[in-house]
Structure 1
Amino acid sequence: MENLLKKRKAARGWVPRLGKELVSLLGRPVLSAVELKAVIENFDIRLSKLDEVQSEIEVELESDLLDDDLDKAFEFRTTSLIPRIKAAEKLLELDKKGDDDSSTTNGSSGAQVKLPKLELPKFKGEVTEWQSFWDQFSCHVDNSDIPVISKFSYLASLLEGEAKSVISGLSHTSVNYKIACDLLKERFGRPERMILAHVQALLNGKVPVKAGGPKYVYLLWNLQDELLTHIRSLEALGVSGKQCEVFLAPIILSRLPSEIRMEWARKGAGHESDLEWLLKFLQEEIETIERSETFKDVTSRKPENPSVSEEKRNWHSKGSREKVTSASALHTSSEVEYPICGFCAKKHKTENCYETLKLKGHSVLRK
């Protein structure tokens, strides 16, 4: 134990020295990216050695002293990383500037392609997403030449939710990196569990509700993409062949809207367990519905009659209709706008006309 403590003391002496060297480099007005990168790599090597010694001490240390030692080790490491983080940011800035200068210098010699910054996906614990996540992480981080402790840092930063809780009890050391990878593979990467997860996803998906318009077509295309993702993932896991198609085809049919299943029943005689035929049929049906909805949208727009439109505009611009003297026009006006008297042409009903009432009164007196 005493020997381990001496090793840790020596390692702790190196890390802050290299941190001071990084601070000194960052203070220079002119800084070489190559020189900065060399010091960063040396810093990472020394920090990795410190982490290895710390792990060995944690195993040997008595439980009543472990918590205090862990707190001190964490504080030391966090403080030591500050110049390392600033140096990494500066190095990215220098690399970007170098790329821009190279593009400007070589612009006349040929087309320059500037690749976008690569961002690895987060993993929250969805078993169906594990293989895609691990393949990308393995290619860009796990198989790279960066220090093991940096790989662990990348891995921890990409985990969320249930996946993060799997490795939350491990100390952030180089020795524990492989343990963390093995724990994640055991929890999410077992082939039988991934197969079951993809089959469950196929069974539990929602069936698009029939509706008109672009939204329905959009939902159908999303459904096809989802189905293909799970099917191709199952094939990659070894679930393929005629025997597998016998149970996959009915599962996929259960996810289709009733009108598409009906069309499959009409056309699919002899192809009941043919998965590839079913997928091709689904794509053709969605394309047919999409063309139909597009045509429906175009034909639903009625052409406007210029003469009628002009007549309507003239009607509204006058504000009120002109007086009409014919009895039929007056009758129409009484139904549509105002009651116009057929006797005196004033705005009241004919039977209520004062002049008419007077005439009726005279006739009564004569009798």
Structure 2
Amino acid sequence: MFTSIIDKDCGLSDVEKFQHLRSCLKGPALDTVSSLEISSANYTIALDLLKRRFNNKRLIFQSHVTDILSLNRIESSSAVKLRSLSDTVNANIRTLQSLGSAEQIAGCIIVHSLLQKVDKATQANWEETTPMDTIPTCEQFIEFLDRRCQRLENVEHAMATYTPSTKSTPQI
């Protein structure tokens, strides 16, 4: 919304855009740019800093999937509770649709669910090896799992067959 209303407004100077930007930010986002003096040159720097820090498409996608999957079950019929559930689902689905295709959304839900089934070390390895700016596919996750299995099998085999050599003293 900021990009559409402020950033693309040719009638505003970069200093004015930067002032508007800072007035819209709070918390960690504001902390990211708070050390920058409001100037034309720093507006572009501020936008770049914010994009690098917060433009993690995969994390944004996963966050919305998590919001949907972690909704509590409604135990009794209540218009208020159903409306709240509906509003939450619709808001998250609309955001997901703005970020990716139906296939990407479905894939992300599957990957998200499968990640909950693996150990913490495998989860960390997945996070370290997957680009932040793309939404991973099921195929990428399956390929990752296959590579991870192969590496672990190799390590386990190496550990099972490794026997430390005994220290021997040279014979004279």
TM-score by length of 2: 0.56
Structure 1 match to 2:100: 238
1:180 aligns with 2:49: no
Label 1:148 to 1:203 Cα distance change in 2 as closer, same or farther (>3 A).
same
Q: Tell me if the contact between 2:96 and 2:105 (Cα under 8 Å) persists in the aligned partners.
A: no
Please, which runs of 5 or more residues in structure 2 have no aligned partner?
114-172
2:59 maps to 1:193: yes
- Amino acid of the structure 2 residue aligned with 1:241: E
Match of 2:81 in 1: 219
| d(CA) in 1 for partners of 2:60, 2:108 | 20
Cα distance in 1 between the residues matched to 2:108 and 2:57: 21
Q: Hey, what does 1:143 align to over in structure 2?
A: 8
In the superposition, relative to structure 1, how do residues 172 and 201 fare at CA in structure 2: closer, same or farther (>3 Å)? same
- Offset, 1:242: 8.9
Tell me the secondary structure at the aligned position of residue 162 of structure 1: helix
* Aligned ranges 1:179-328 → 2 under 5 Å: 179-210=45-76, 216-241=78-103, 244=106, 247=109
After superposition, where does 1:1-367 map in structure 2 within 5 Å? 136-144=1-9, 145-210=11-76, 216-241=78-103, 244=106, 247=109
Q: How many Å separate the matches in 1 of 2:65 and 2:93?
A: 9
Equivalent-residue separation in structure 2 for 1:151 and 1:219 (angstroms) = 40
| 1:232 positional shift | 2.2
Structure 1 position 169, deviation (Å): 1.8
Whole-angstrom CA distance in 2 between matches of 1:220 and 1:226 = 10
Q: Which amino acid aligns with 2:6?
A: V
> Structure 1 residue 243: deviation in Å?
8.0
- Partner SS for 2:35: coil
Distance in 2, Cα, partners of 1:139 & 1:242: 25
* Residue identity matched to 1:224: S
Give me the whole-angstrom Cα distance separating, in 2, the residues matched to 1:193 and 1:148: 29
Q: State percent identity of aligned pairs.
A: 30
* Deviation per residue, 1:75-107 (Å, 9 max, x gap): xxxxxxxxxxxxxxxxxxxxxxxxxxxxxxxxx
Counterpart-to-counterpart distance in 2, 1:210 and 1:195 = 30
Q: Does the residue aligned with 2:102 lie in a helix, a strand or coil?
A: coil
Please say which structure displays the higher CA radius of gyration.
Answer: 1
Equivalent position amino acid for 1:232 in 2: R
**What's the C-alpha RMSD, in Å, of the aligned pairs?**
2.5
Output the TM-score relative to the length of structure 1.
Answer: 0.28
Give unmatched runs, 5+ long, in structure 1: 1-135, 252-367
CA apart distance, 1:151: 0.5
CA apart distance, 1:184: 1.4
**Does the C-alpha gap of structure 1 residues 138 and 246 become closer, same or farther in structure 2, counting only changes over 3 Å?**
closer
Say how many residue pairs are matched: 110
**Cα distance, 1:239 vs. partner?**
4.2
Q: Following the alignment from structure 1 to structure 2, what is the Cα–Cα distance between the partners of residues 158 and 220?
A: 32
Question: Against the structure 1 CA distance between its residues 230 and 196, is the aligned structure 2 distance closer, same or farther, given a 3 Å change threshold?
Answer: same
8 Å contact from structure 2 (residues 32, 49) kept in 1 = yes
